[in-house]
């Protein structure tokens, strides 16, 4: 089958940071329920991969797996990835406009200006430096779950960045059933990087694998706010099967097209 | 004389996010949400049950802000919430967009506590289909 | 003469399931025949083939992640009806050209040899049946593509 397989890793980042484990805080899905995957939506997914082989033994189906990590309770991935930088820029522009207005206000409004300045400073929001491996630009700010700029990072609730898969290891990789690698992509849904793997279906069976996942906690360090990475891991399994390819028309070997000789009217 | 212990900073109240994960192709092929919907919320620690099923029971209190959003299993498929039907005495969900985008979410504030679970229905817009599909099984809010 | 002609069926699965049709731009068929096929990229592709060539069909979802499989390919008689099917085998197995639901459609390889008894110059229409996921709205049919025998090549 030419369908690519997608595995979604939905992480409850808030609870995972609180309990420092992904057990019970991660929910896995794939698009193979029709083919028999079990445990959809739980932490215990078994992804079924139906392979096939030709009569000379060569692999008949290209099996490609893609992993998509998402954060539960944050701004959804359908919101464009440039969003954070855009919002940061918008709020900076707004602040500059307000400062300009303040600057051109008539002299003598001293007390008012001080209050205004402090309001503008608050509304500019909290810049946060990023240790995200994807290299967050300096222009990022903390947003809350509705996309509004957060004015006081310590007191408000913020949207967390999506979790990042840093490695895929385990039995399936060691036994050379699965060949995962990280790829770059212009697709903004995946933030430019995603993990993908091809699968060798010549050895059917169930194999486990582990995903190393990095999530981020907003902490204050030396007076500045930083996304601190926290590394956790979770396990899943693939179940590989393989069946013989057969001709669609005859269900056996290849034959002539099932076209009856037809006499067409002259 | 004992000094008064410093009050800890108040823990910020997180809005309770309810996320619907939808298998768009399954829902379109059967025109039903049953078997094609998985509901989650961020309040498991406070007592929500049924996470991952179509009968999520979200623990809420009066004054909580609720947020519903939706995720498609097929990352390039479109899915959106057309409406949420719930007793307006309990809360009145309204549609908002993330500022500067056309991606929508629904939000409501819980008006009162309730001893009984408050059931609700969500209807979804799938793909390019104009007719929405509504939940078969029932999620609820529990007080 | 090329030994094999490939016919690729491209489907927008979400579009087809939303609109309930393979038309409206939800399906496009192309082939790589060296002879002049007509209707490339539309639902009315007429692939020109020669006797002895192998013809193979494959299907692809445009977003790669949605499921779509060929369920059957059945040739139609001049009135547009499926050509008389062979009577079902005594054990109830489905007639040639069809897969029963529940069988693994992804194991099917839709290839066949162009027979010498096709009348040259006459389009032989076929019904393409696709399955997308499962459920009451998951089966789709198209009766418009065709094969045309260009006559023996010198």
Per the listing, tokens 């500067």 go with: B100
- Tally C-beta pairs within 8 A across A and B: 102
Residue C90 confidence (pLDDT): 38
**B74 exposed, middle or buried (CB, 10 Å; 0-12, 13-18, 19+)?**
buried
Instruction: Tell me phi and psi for residue A104, to 5 degrees.
Output: -90, 5
Answer whether A42 sits within 8 Å of B52, measured CB to CB.
yes
User: Of A159, A164, A154, A158, whose CA–CA distance to A132 is shortest?
Assistant: A164
C4-149 in CATH: which number?
A: 2.60.40
Residue C63 distance to chain B (closest CA, Å): 7
Share of chain B above pLDDT 70, in %: 91
User: Of A73, A39, A20, A75, whose CA–CA distance to B40 is shortest?
Assistant: A73
Answer whether A52 sits within 8 Å of C106, measured CB to CB.
yes
Answer whether A52 sits within 8 Å of C69, measured CB to CB.
no
Q: Are C6 and C18 in contact (CB under 8 A)?
A: no
As given in the structure block, the two tokens for residue B57 are 């029971």
3-state secondary structure chain B: CCCCCCCCCCCCCCCEEEEEEECHHHHHHHCCCCCCEEEEECCHHHCCECCCECCCEEECCCCCEEEEEEEECCCCCCEEEEEEEECCCCCCCEEEECCCCCCEEEEEECCCCCCCCEEEEEEEEECCCCCCEECCCCCEEEC
What's the maximum distance between 2 C-alpha atoms anywhere in chain A?
102
B117 pLDDT exceeds 90?
yes
Answer whether C63 sits within 8 Å of B77, measured CB to CB.
yes
C-alpha to C-alpha distance for A161 and C41, rounded to whole angstroms: 42
Which is more confident, B102 or A251?
A251
Answer whether A256 sits within 8 Å of C113, measured CB to CB.
yes
Q: What is the pLDDT of residues C52-95, one digit of tens each?
A: 999 999 999 998 888 899 999 999 987 878 875 443 333 334 44
Answer whether A12 sits within 8 Å of B40, measured CB to CB.
yes
Q: Domain B16-142 in CATH: superfamily?
A: Inclusion body protein (2.60.40.3910)
Residue C1 confidence (pLDDT): 76
Question: Which candidate in B71, B79, B95 is best for mutational testing of the A interface (most A CBs within 10 A)?
Answer: B71
Q: Are B124 and B80 in contact (CB under 8 A)?
A: yes
Residues of C in contact with A259 (CB under 8 A): 75, 83, 115, 117-118, 124, 147
Answer whether B98 sits within 8 Å of A79, measured CB to CB.
yes
User: Could you say which residues of chain A have pLDDT below 70?
Assistant: 1-2, 81-82, 84-85, 105-112, 126-140, 151-157, 187-191, 262-266
C-alpha to C-alpha distance for B58 and B16, rounded to whole angstroms: 9
Residues of C in contact with B76 (CB under 8 A): 14, 63, 65
Consecutive H or E run containing C111: strand C108-113
Q: Are A7 and B18 in contact (CB under 8 A)?
A: no
Give CA separation, B58 vs B20, B84, B143, C141, in Å.
13, 15, 8, 43
C-alpha to C-alpha distance for A217 and A71, rounded to whole angstroms: 13
Mean pLDDT in residue range C115-124: 90
Decide if A47 touches C, using CB distance below 8 A: no
Residue A114 confidence (pLDDT): 77
Residue A111 confidence (pLDDT): 56
Interface confidence, given as ipTM, is: 0.85
The Cα angle at residue B18 between residues B28 and C16, in degrees rounded to 5: 15
Task: With H, G, I as helix, E, B as strand and everything else as coil, classify residue A38.
Answer: strand
C-alpha to C-alpha distance for A52 and A241, rounded to whole angstroms: 8
As given in the structure block, the two tokens for residue C42 are 């539309």
Instruction: Pick B129's closest partner by Cβ from C13, C18, C67.
Output: C18
List strand residue ranges (DSSP E) for chain A, in order: 5-11, 26-30, 46-53, 64-71, 128-130, 164-169, 178-184, 193-199, 205-221, 224-244, 246-247
Consecutive H or E run containing A83: helix A83-103
Residues of C in contact with B25 (CB under 8 A): 13-14, 17, 66-67, 132-133
Residue A263 confidence (pLDDT): 58
Mean pLDDT in residue range B61-84: 90
B12 pLDDT exceeds 70?
no
Instruction: Pick C97's closest partner by Cβ from A3, A4, A258.
Output: A258
What are the structural domain ranges in chain C?
4-149
Answer whether A156 sits within 8 Å of B12, measured CB to CB.
yes
Answer whether A61 sits within 8 Å of C108, measured CB to CB.
no
C-alpha to C-alpha distance for C68 and C59, rounded to whole angstroms: 7
User: Of A221, A263, A246, whose CA–CA distance to A128 is shortest?
Assistant: A221
**pTM: predicted TM-score of the whole model, two decimal places:** 0.82
Which is more confident, A88 or C134?
C134
Residue C101 confidence (pLDDT): 42
Residue A157 confidence (pLDDT): 66
Decide if B29 touches C, using CB distance below 8 A: yes
């Amino acid at each position: 089958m030419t369908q690519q397989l997608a595995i979604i890793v939905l992480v409850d980042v808030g609870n995972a940071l609180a309990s420092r484990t992904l057990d019970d805080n991660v929910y896995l899905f794939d698009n193979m329920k029709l083919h028999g995957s079990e445990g959809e939506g739980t932490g215990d997914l078994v992804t079924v991969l139906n392979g096939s082989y030709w009569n000379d033994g060569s692999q008949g189906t290209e099996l490609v797996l893609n992993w998509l990590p998402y954060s539960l309770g944050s701004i959804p991935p359908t919101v464009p990835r440039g969003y954070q930088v855009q919002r940061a820029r918008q709020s900076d522009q707004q602040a500059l406009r307000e400062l300009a207005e303040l600057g051109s206000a008539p002299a003598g409004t001293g007390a008012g200006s001080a209050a205004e300045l402090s309001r503008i400073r608050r509304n500019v929001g909290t810049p946060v430096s990023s240790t995200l491996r994807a290299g967050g630009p300096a222009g990022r700010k903390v947003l809350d779950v509705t996309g509004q700029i957060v004015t006081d990072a310590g007191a408000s609730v913020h949207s967390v960045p999506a979790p990042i898969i840093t490695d895929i290891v385990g039995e399936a990789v060691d036994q050379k059933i699965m060949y995962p690698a990280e790829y770059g992509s212009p697709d903004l849904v995946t933030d430019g990087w995603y993990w993908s793997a091809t699968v060798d279906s010549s050895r059917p069976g169930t194999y486990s694998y582990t995903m190393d996942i990095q999530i981020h906690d907003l902490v204050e360090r030396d007076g500045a706010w930083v996304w601190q990475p926290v590394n956790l891991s979770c396990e899943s399994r693939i179940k590989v099967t393989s069946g013989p390819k057969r001709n669609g028309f005859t269900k056996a070997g290849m034959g002539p097209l099932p076209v009856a000789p037809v006499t067409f009217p002259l | 004389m004992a000094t008064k212990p410093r009050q800890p900073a108040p823990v910020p109240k997180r809005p309770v996010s309810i996320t619907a994960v939808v298998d768009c192709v399954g829902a379109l092929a059967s025109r039903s949400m049953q078997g094609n919907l998985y509901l989650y919320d961020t309040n498991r620690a406070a007592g929500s049950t049924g996470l991952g099923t179509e009968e999520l029971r979200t623990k809420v209190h009066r004054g909580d802000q609720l947020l519903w959003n939706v995720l498609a299993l097929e990352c390039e498929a479109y899915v959106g919430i057309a409406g949420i039907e719930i007793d307006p005495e309990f809360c009145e969900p309204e549609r908002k967009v993330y500022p500067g985008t056309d991606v929508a979410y629904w939000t409501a504030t819980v008006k009162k506590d309730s001893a009984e679970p408050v059931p609700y229905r969500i209807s979804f817009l799938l793909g390019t289909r104009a007719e929405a599909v509504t939940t078969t099984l029932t999620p609820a809010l529990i007080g | 003469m090329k030994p094999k002609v490939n016919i690729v069926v491209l489907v927008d699965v979400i579009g087809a399931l939303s609109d309930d049709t393979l038309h409206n731009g939800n399906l496009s068929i192309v082939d790589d025949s060296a002879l002049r096929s007509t209707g490339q990229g539309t639902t009315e592709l007429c692939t020109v083939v020669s006797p002895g060539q192998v013809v193979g069909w494959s299907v692809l979802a445009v977003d790669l992640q949605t499921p779509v499989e060929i369920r059957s390919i059945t040739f139609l008689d001049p009135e547009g009806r499926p050509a008389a099917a062979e009577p079902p085998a005594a054990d109830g197995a489905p007639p040639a050209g069809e897969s029963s639901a529940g069988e693994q459609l992804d194991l099917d390889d839709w290839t066949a040899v162009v027979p010498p008894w096709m009348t040259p110059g006459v389009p032989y229409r076929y019904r393409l049946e696709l399955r997308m996921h499962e459920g009451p709205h998951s089966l789709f049919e198209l009766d418009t593509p065709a094969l045309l025998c260009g006559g023996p090549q010198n």
